[in-house]
């Protein structure tokens, strides 16, 4: 049974997120991945899919800002960062972050990507996007994989050697999706962050160093 909002607010991880200024505990999932795989290395142009409530965008902005300073003297440097978030739900503004309320699978979304990033390739794509669960584990998993396949198409916007992070549900179709990612990335790893619900079938796939 899903936890009530009151129960959720009493959780230590939720309280920790609020103390550190994050909108949700999901920030720690992304930070867990970063600690393990350093996906934000030299990431200046970042796209976040399924952004509500915005905690991943907050983390992305932190790394975008720090990367400007960190890589100032190195060969791969931009003097600015660009971060875009998208969700079908309303998302409160974040300063210096472009937020769209639209369907990420629509053709219009690609037009928005091209416009905001001026046709340049991205350094990192993040996706915590999820279907609305029905409670049927098998159909939900199939629907989530279908969404993930649509999201995987958006990696055409990634630069060569760019990184990708996506939430998947474990189940019958997981292995096929994993193999599709292996075709596009030199390294593919799976991780269930420490801050994830242990009973959840969600798992994150990390694609490192896009091949082409």
Torsion sign, CA atoms 159, 160, 164, 169: positive
Percent of the chain surpassing pLDDT 90 = 77
Q: What is the distance between the alpha carbons of residues 153 and 143, in angstroms, rounded to a whole number? A: 16
Domain region containing 135? 5-210
Q: What is the distance between the alpha carbons of residues 98 and 116, in angstroms, rounded to a whole number? A: 8
Q: Of 167, 180, 194, 210, which one is the catalytic site residue?
A: 167
Q: Which CATH number belongs to the domain containing residue 204 in this structure?
A: 3.40.50.150
Q: What is the pTM of this model?
A: 0.90
Number of domain units in the chain: 1
- 92-109 pLDDT, tens digit each: 999 999 999 999 999 999
Note if 167 is an active site residue.
Answer: yes
Q: What is the DSSP string of 14-59?
A: HHHHHHTT-SSTHHHHHHHHHHHH-TTTT--EEEEES-TT-HHHHH
Q: Give the pLDDT score at 122.
A: 98
């Amino acid at each position: 049974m899903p936890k009530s909002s009151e129960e959720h607010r009493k959780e230590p991880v939720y309280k920790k997120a609020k103390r550190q200024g994050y909108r949700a505990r999901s920030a720690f999932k992304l930070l867990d991945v970063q600690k393990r795989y350093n996906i934000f290395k030299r990431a200046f142009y970042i796209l976040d899919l399924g952004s509500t409530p915005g905690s991943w965008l907050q983390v992305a902005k932190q790394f975008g800002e720090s990367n400007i300073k960190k890589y100032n003297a190195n060969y791969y440097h931009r003097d600015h960062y660009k971060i875009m978030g998208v969700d079908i739900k309303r998302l409160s503004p974040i300063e210096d972050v472009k937020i769209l309320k639209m369907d990420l699978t629509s053709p219009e979304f690609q037009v928005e990507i091209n416009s905001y990033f001026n046709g340049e390739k991205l350094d990192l794509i993040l996706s915590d996007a999820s279907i609305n669960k029905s409670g049927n584990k098998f159909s939900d998993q199939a629907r989530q994989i279908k969404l993930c396949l649509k999201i995987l198409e958006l990696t055409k916007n990634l630069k060569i050697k760019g990184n990708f992070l996506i939430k998947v549900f474990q189940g019958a179709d997981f292995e096929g999706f994993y193999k599709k990612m292996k075709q596009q990335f030199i390294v593919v790893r799976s991780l269930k962050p420490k801050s994830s619900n242990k009973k959840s079938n969600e798992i994150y796939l990390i694609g490192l160093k896009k091949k082409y």
